[in-house]
Every structure is written in structure tokens, then in C-alpha cells.
Structure 1
Amino acid sequence: MSLQIPADTPVAFEFKSLSLKLLSFVPATLDAARLEAALRDKLGDGEHMLSGEQLAIDFDSLPTLPSAMEIAALMQLLRQFGLKPVAARGGNDDQQAAAREAGLVVLSDEATAVVPPAKQVEKPVPAMIVSRPVRTGQQVYARGGDLVVLALVSAGAEVIADGNIHVYAPLRGRALAGARGDVSARIFTTCLEAELVSIGGVYRTLDDALPTSLKSKPAQVLLDQEKLVIEALAG
């Protein structure tokens, strides 16, 4: 006996085409110690600009064939840094089989693309204002907006913003503006002594390379055609 379903009954499901784009993580090694040190150097120990991002692990740069156990260990390491590995791409058939065994979905090249982190959200977000010094080893991240620091940013400290960064005191640590891809972001400070600056993912270490016209002076950092430019601020 067949079951009669009324014609006006809503459908239980449907299939739809989905254009899927994920941020790719491209390991050149599966050495856990090396990867952990590199991730910590890049992202720090707290919340960072890629927290919560879903990843597709790209096998194209691995010199050896990974086992499912090694891939599972890599996935666990990425999760420790707030990242979410969900898929794999590239590599040969054996690498893709190991990825499936480790619980990853294997995607075709057409399904993924290497994309920068999402740009700053359109909805205005109030600037984060920090009135206390940012000490060595500390990290401050203004998600979705600007960061204003009214005190010293010590050497070894890190200030990050999806928008602009303003430091009205000596900037001696690392400053990363436009952290999620906003190439129009800028860094402003009344005393430029930074170790590293970055706009939209383009980095430059400063060390002792600053000329006397800029070192310890009011300055801004901006991106001009994928090149970081440091300019003195008049007045």
C-alpha cells in the first residue's frame, strides 16, 4: 500500500548549488614542534585575527606522504589555535585517502580558493580604547573596528585591529592594522619605535632601519600598491 502525500505538503528538503571558499592552510612539514612554534609566532597564544576561521588543509607543499594519524594530529594542533580544519585539497590519491580517514572532506580544486581573511564588516563597530600600557607578551585585538591606545605599547607586545590603529604614546611592539584584509587601514602613532608593522597582511620589520626623520617621531603607516609606506606626520 502506497502512502498518499497531500499536494500542498511542504517539501522535506532540497538540493542547492553552493559556491564554497575556504582559507587554505598549506603546511610544508608535519613536524608538530616546528608547526606549533611557527603558529605561536604568527598568531600568539590568545584570540587572534583568524580565530574561528574554517580551513582547507592543502597537501601540495608536503614532501612526504602523511598518515591519517599525522593529519589528525595536525587538525588537533590547528584547533588549539582557534582554527577549524574541515576539509582537504590537493595532494595525490594516497594523501586524500589519509585525509578522509582522518575525518576531513576532500574537495576538488574548483570548490576551494585561497582567499584572504574576510574584510572588515560593513556595520560600524565602536573603536576599542585602551588607556593602560600594553606590556611585553600581551596582545590586544580590536575585532571589526579601530583600536586606540592611549599608553605605551612595549617591545614584545602586539596590537591588532581589523581597522586602523592609533597609538598616542611610544609604539615599540608589533602593530597589525587591517588584520582581516582591509588594505585601506592605517597605523598612526606619536612615537614610532615599532618592531614590526603590517597593513592588510603585508608585513615589514623595522628594527634599526628607520631614518632619524621617522624614528621616535609622529608617523603613519599605509599601504600603497602592495608596498608599505611610512610617512612623518606634520605638526
Structure 2
Amino acid sequence: MALIAPPDNSASPFEFRSAELRLVAFAPATLDPVRLEAGLRNKLGGGEHFLTGEQIALDFGSLPETPDAVEVAALAALLRRYSLNLVAARGGNKDQLAAAREAGLIVLSDEGMAPAAPAPQTATTERTPTLIISRPVRTGQQIYARGGDLVVLALVSAGAEVIADGDIHIYAPLRGRALAGARGDTSARIYTTCMEAEIISVGGVYRTLDETLPASLKSKPAQVYLDQERLVIEALSDIN
């Protein structure tokens, strides 16, 4: 008769491990669902976007109101419609955080939002290849270079959107939206040979260009970058 060894009950069924949290903060200035819906639609569009599937922390730092749990839950439902998962809250006063807890959110300290330390750079560090698009980006289309730079060799039409976690280079007219440094890289830049954009963004700082650009920039080669927290649009011919 075969003998069956008894299970080893000495092994622990689980273990605790340190983990770094990296959440995207959502800092509303209002809880008005109409204004929030319009803002989300304007920045993220109606389909897949550069934050699709991200876990979100509600940052009370810019919110003067004190919501109840029902309002926090309604905000979570609105964000889910844009494929954003509200899982935590931070900042604010004790009543705001109490409402977040009642709505089922985790309350974080500021340390919980600290970005992960960058990995040491070595010669073998893997880098996401540049995404190169050689066809026109038509109205309603979105191109996203996740984890790297984006190069577009054709027209970006009005109503189209190009996004990159790194730099964006457009060797043709830019007439739609361009969002560089989509995951917070404030050193990213946008370059185009013909600046006619609707909206530009670097590192999460947006600017609408519905107003008339000066003649030195309109339809001219230009670059966009952040100076502190201010977006700068500069003619490429001005660079020495």
C-alpha cells in the first residue's frame, strides 16, 4: 500500500511584501456632474484614451465642498464611464475623508502617492521603440505612443488626437490635439513643421489654441514645452 506524505503545515499560506503605489490623482474643483462630464469628455474623448484602465486617487486639495458618500460614489460612477477606476482618496479635511471611506475608498497619506523610484539606467535598459505613423491621422482618430515617443509623417487633422508618454514629432500640419508627456513627463516636447493645433498639452498642462496665434507661429514650424508650469510655444526658427 502506498504511503501518502502528510501536508507540510509549517509553510505560511501567505506573506506580506512591501509594494509601491503609483496612482493618478484626480483633483476636482467642483462636484457639479455636468461640468465634470464636459471636462472629462473634452480632455479624454469618448473612446480609449491615454489613461484607460488607470487606478485613480481622489485628491481633495482643490475641492472647497464637503461631499457625502453618495456624491463620492456618483463621482466614481462618472469616472468609470471614462474607464477610470476610483480606488482611493487623499488630502482634504476629516469630513471629506470620512465621506470617501463611507463610499468604500481607501484613504492614503501623501506618502502613498509618491512615485516609484526610477530604475537605475544601464546600457541594457529596455526602451519602448518610437511609434512612427506614416499615414494621415483623420478626424476622430486617436494615436497613442505608450511608454515612448511618437513621430507622425503626415497630416494630423482637426478633431484628431495624438498622444505620447514622451515627445511628439509631427512633420506635417498639426491641426488636431497633441498631448506629450501624457503620464506626467514635464520634460517632454511637441514639435511640428506647421503649428495649427486645437489643443496642446505637455505633462498634463493644457492650452486651447482657439484664439488666433501670432503670425510668427501660425502655420510655422514650432515647438511646445513647459517652463515651470507655463506652456511655451516657440518658433523653431527662433532657436539658436
TM-score category, normalised to shorter length: 0.7 to 0.9
Query: Given the superposition, is the C-alpha separation of residues 208 and 80 from structure 1 closer, same or farther in structure 2, using an over 3 Å criterion?
Result: closer
Match of 1:231 among 206, 230, 235: 235
Query: Given the superposition, is the C-alpha separation of residues 214 and 110 from structure 1 closer, same or farther in structure 2, using an over 3 Å criterion?
Result: closer
Query: Given the superposition, is the C-alpha separation of residues 79 and 206 from structure 1 closer, same or farther in structure 2, using an over 3 Å criterion?
Result: same
Counterpart check, 1:153 vs 2:147: no
Query: Which residue is 1:186 aligned to?
Result: 189
Query: Given the superposition, is the C-alpha separation of residues 14 and 63 from structure 1 closer, same or farther in structure 2, using an over 3 Å criterion?
Result: same
Counterpart check, 1:29 vs 2:33: no
What is the distance in 1 between the residues matched to 2:98 and 2:185?
37
How big is the shift at 1:20? 4.0
How big is the shift at 1:179? 1.5
Counterpart check, 1:128 vs 2:140: no
CA RMSD of aligned residues (A): 3.0
SS in 1 for 2:136: coil
In the TM superposition, what are the counterparts of 1:104-115 in structure 2 within 5 Å?
104-112=105-113
Query: Given the superposition, is the C-alpha separation of residues 229 and 68 from structure 1 closer, same or farther in structure 2, using an over 3 Å criterion?
Result: same
Give the count of matched residue pairs: 224
In the TM superposition, what are the counterparts of 1:1-235 in structure 2 within 5 Å?
9-16=10-17, 18=19, 20-112=21-113, 123-207=126-210, 209-224=212-227, 226-227=229-230, 228-233=232-237
TM-score relative to the length of structure 2: 0.77
Query: Given the superposition, is the C-alpha separation of residues 82 and 231 from structure 1 closer, same or farther in structure 2, using an over 3 Å criterion?
Result: same
What is the distance in 2 between the residues matched to 1:201 and 1:208?
20
Q: Which has the higher contact order (CA 8 A, sep 6+)?
A: 1
Q: 1:110-154 CA distances to partner (integer Å, 9 max, x unpaired)?
A: 4445x69x9xxx632222232332223332211112222222112
What is the distance in 1 between the residues matched to 2:112 and 2:164?
30
**Aligned residues of 2:216 and 2:235 also touching (Cα < 8 A):** no
What is the distance in 2 between the residues matched to 1:213 and 1:65?
47
SS in 2 for 1:123: coil
What is the distance in 2 between the residues matched to 1:200 and 1:96?
28
What is the distance in 1 between the residues matched to 2:100 and 2:212?
45
Residue 31 of structure 2 aligns with an amino acid whose one-letter code is L
Query: Given the superposition, is the C-alpha separation of residues 11 and 48 from structure 1 closer, same or farther in structure 2, using an over 3 Å criterion?
Result: same
Q: Structure 1: where are the runs of 5+ without partners?
A: none
Mean Cα deviation higher: 187-196 or 198-207: 198-207
- How many percent of aligned residue pairs carry the same amino acid? 68
How big is the shift at 1:175? 1.2
Residue 55 of structure 1 aligns with an amino acid whose one-letter code is I
What is the distance in 2 between the residues matched to 1:40 and 1:71?
19
Q: 1:175-209 CA distances to partner (integer Å, 9 max, x unpaired)?
A: 11122222333322222222232222333444455
What is the distance in 1 between the residues matched to 2:218 and 2:95?
53
Residue 142 of structure 2 aligns with an amino acid whose one-letter code is Q
SS in 1 for 2:191: strand
